[in-house]
Amino acid sequence: GQQLNQSPQSMFIQEGEDVSMNCTSSSIFNTWLWYKQDPGEGPVLLIALYKAGELTSNGRLTAQFGITRKDSFLNISASIPSDVGIYFCAGPQGGSEKLVFGKGTKLTVNP
């Protein structure tokens, strides 16, 4: 089946630094979704991308839908302690409404 590979698996950064993470697949996706999960909570949708090449921002977060449609990127600018959590990418499987999820990038921000 389709798989999403996220990198890096974990990141340790200082408050104020910018962060970049990505999600890649060997298959084409028509939609990319980025979620953030705080410890012990459900994932929260951050950004949804529906068009190749699309660049969408949500506050300090910016996500891009790769031109090849096989990857997506999430950037966080000027990180703050509350950015700590696990960031997941997801996309619909084979055009169905089922989503496939990456294994996540765990972000730690040191004050």
Partner 1 sequence: DGGITQSPKYLFRKEGQNVTLSCEQNLNHDAMYWYRQDPGQGLRLIYYSQIVNDFQKGDIAEGYSVSREKKESFPLTVTSAQKNPTAFYLCASSIGLGVIYEQYFGPGTRLTVT
Work out whether 99 is an interface residue with partner 1 (CB under 8 A).
yes
Chain positions 42 to 71 lying near partner 1, rule: CB under 8 A, are 42-45, 48
Q: Does residue 8 have a cis bond before it (omega within 30 degrees)?
A: yes
Count, residues in the chain: 111
Indicate whether 103 belongs to the interface with partner 1 (CB under 8 A): yes
For partner 1, the closer CB: 34 or 73 = 34
Out of 31, 56, 62, 75, the residue judged to bind partner 1 by CB under 8 A: 31
Q: Does 85 bind partner 1 (CB under 8 A)?
A: no
Nearest Cα residue to 89 out of 18, 28, 36, 11: 36
Closest CA to 29 of 70, 79, 83, 66: 70
Other beta carbons within 10 angstroms of residue 82's beta carbon come to 8
Distance of closest approach, residue 26 Cβ to partner 1, in angstroms: 17
> Considering beta carbons, is residue 14 or 82 the nearer one to partner 1?
82
SS3 (DSSP) at 111:
coil
Contact positions vs partner 1 (CB under 8 A): 1, 31, 33, 35, 40-45, 48, 88, 90-92, 97-99, 101-104
